[in-house]
Structures are given as C-alpha cells and as structure tokens.
C-alpha cells in the first residue's frame, strides 16, 4: 500500500513539475513579448508547447508572437489549434479575432468576416471586433465592385479590340482590292492600246494593200487600151 502511494505521489509530482515548466516558459515568453522581443518570446512559447501541446494559452501566445513577426500563415496554424482546445469563451473570442485580423490584412475579407462573427458569438460585447467586422464588410463590398468594374473594363477593351481588328481587316481588304484594281487597270489600258495599235496596223495594211492594187489596176487599164 505504501509502495502504491509512493508511486502515486511520484506521478503527481512529475505532473506538477511539467505543469510548472510550461507555465514558466509562458511567463518568460510574456515578459519578452512585452519588451517587443518577439523572436525570443517565440522560443519560450514553443518550449511551453513542447512541454504541453494541449496548453491553449501557449498556442495562442505563440500565434501572437509569430503574427508580430509577419509570419501570418504559421500564426493562423497556432490560432486554429488554440481555438479547438480553448474552453474559456472570452479567450476563444480573442483567438478568432486574431485570425480575422490576419485574413483582413491579406484582403481575404470573406474569411475575416466569418472569424469576426465567430469571435462575437463567444464575446458579443467586444466593440473592437464589431468595428473590424463592419469595416471588413465595407471593404468586401468595395472589393466586389472593383472586381466587377475591372471585368467590365476588360470586356469593353475586348470589344474595342475586336472592332479595331475588324477595321484593320477591312482596311487590309480595301488595300488589297485597291492593289488588285491597280494591277488590273494597266492591263485594261494595255488592251485598249493594243486594240488601237492593231486597228491602226490594220488600217495601214489596208491602205498599203489599196496602194498596191492601184498600179495593177492602172496596168490592166493600159493593157486593155493596148488591146483596143
């Protein structure tokens, strides 16, 4: 019985030492955090998590230290872990609030809104979260309007480019037709010139023929005169 009691006391002592150790690291990390030594506070918070992975406070504080160093993705991972373990509603609200801040900073307004709403479900009286929610809703509306405007501009530019391309095609067709006409016109002119030349040649040939025939006719007349 004494032996069993001794083992029980030893186990409890070990658990107490473990609990004190992770808490000690949290306290040390908090001091460094207040001094804005966020990289060093991160180290102690990680040590606290290594000692007790189910310590929601250590996970949340680690997320805050990472967030201060602009390690937003890593911070969100720790916040999400803390949100699953935290049972205190106000502290849970702080977890979702910080996730909302990270999302809002990255213009992920829809995600930020959901996290702010979840924060307010756990702590409806948090005015800062309520303000952030209203601001984020307005930013999301503006974002959608800008996206729609950009899409409309793209469509207009696309239509304009299509019209410009069509005009260019028509111009090219007109130029090609004009070149074709220019090429065909000399042919037509040459044909007329050739016709005139041929006509003149024919007339000259006819004239020459007539001139040749006159002496023959004269000769015949002469021969006839002689016969007579």
Could you report how far apart the first and last alpha carbons of the chain are, in Å?
A: 185
CA 104/CA 116 separation, integer angstroms? 10
CA 3/CA 116 separation, integer angstroms? 54
Q: Identify the pLDDT of residue 180.
A: 67
**How far, in whole angstroms, is CA 87 from its chain's centroid?**
41
107 Rama class: left (phi>0) / alpha (psi -120 to 50) / beta: left
Contact between 126 and 100 under an 8 Å Cβ cutoff? The reply is no
- CB crowding 179-189: b at 16 or more within 10 Å, else e: eeeeeeeeeee
CA 43/CA 77 separation, integer angstroms? 16
CA 160/CA 173 separation, integer angstroms? 20
Radius of gyration of the chain (CA): 51
Grouping H, G, I as helix, E, B as strand and the rest as coil, residue 108 is coil
The stretches in the chain having pLDDT less than 50 are 1-13, 15, 17, 185-189, 214-228
Extents of the domains making up the chain? 1-86, 88-166
Fold adopted by 1-86: 1.25.40
Q: Identify the pLDDT of residue 3.
A: 43
Q: Tell me the two tokens of residue 121.
A: 């479900």
CATH 1.25.40.10 fits 88-166, yes or no: yes
Q: Identify the pLDDT of residue 12.
A: 44
């Amino acid at each position: 019985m004494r032996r069993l009691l001794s083992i029980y006391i030893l186990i409890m002592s070990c658990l107490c030492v473990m609990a004190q150790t992770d808490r000690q690291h949290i306290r040390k990390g908090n001091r460094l955090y207040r001094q804005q030594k966020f990289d060093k506070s991160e180290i102690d918070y990680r040590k606290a998590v290594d000692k007790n992975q189910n310590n929601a406070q250590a996970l949340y504080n680690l997320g805050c230290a990472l967030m201060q160093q602009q390690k937003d993705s890593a911070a969100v991972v720790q916040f999400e872990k803390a949100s699953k373990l935290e049972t205190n509603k106000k502290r849970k609200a702080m977890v979702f609030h910080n996730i909302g801040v990270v999302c809002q900073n990255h213009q992920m307004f829809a995600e930020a809104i959901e996290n702010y709403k979840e924060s307010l479900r756990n702590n409806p009286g948090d005015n800062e979260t309520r303000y952030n929610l209203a601001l984020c809703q307005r930013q999301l509306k503006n974002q959608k309007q800008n996206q729609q405007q950009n899409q409309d501009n793209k469509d207009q530019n696309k239509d304009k480019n299509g019209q410009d391309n069509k005009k260019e095609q028509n111009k090219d067709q007109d130029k090609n037709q004009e070149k074709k006409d220019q090429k065909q016109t000399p042919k037509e002119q040459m044909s007329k010139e050739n016709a005139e030349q041929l006509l003149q040649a024919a007339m000259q040939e006819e004239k020459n023929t007539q001139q040749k025939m006159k002496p023959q006719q004269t000769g015949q007349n002469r021969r006839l005169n002689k016969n007579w």
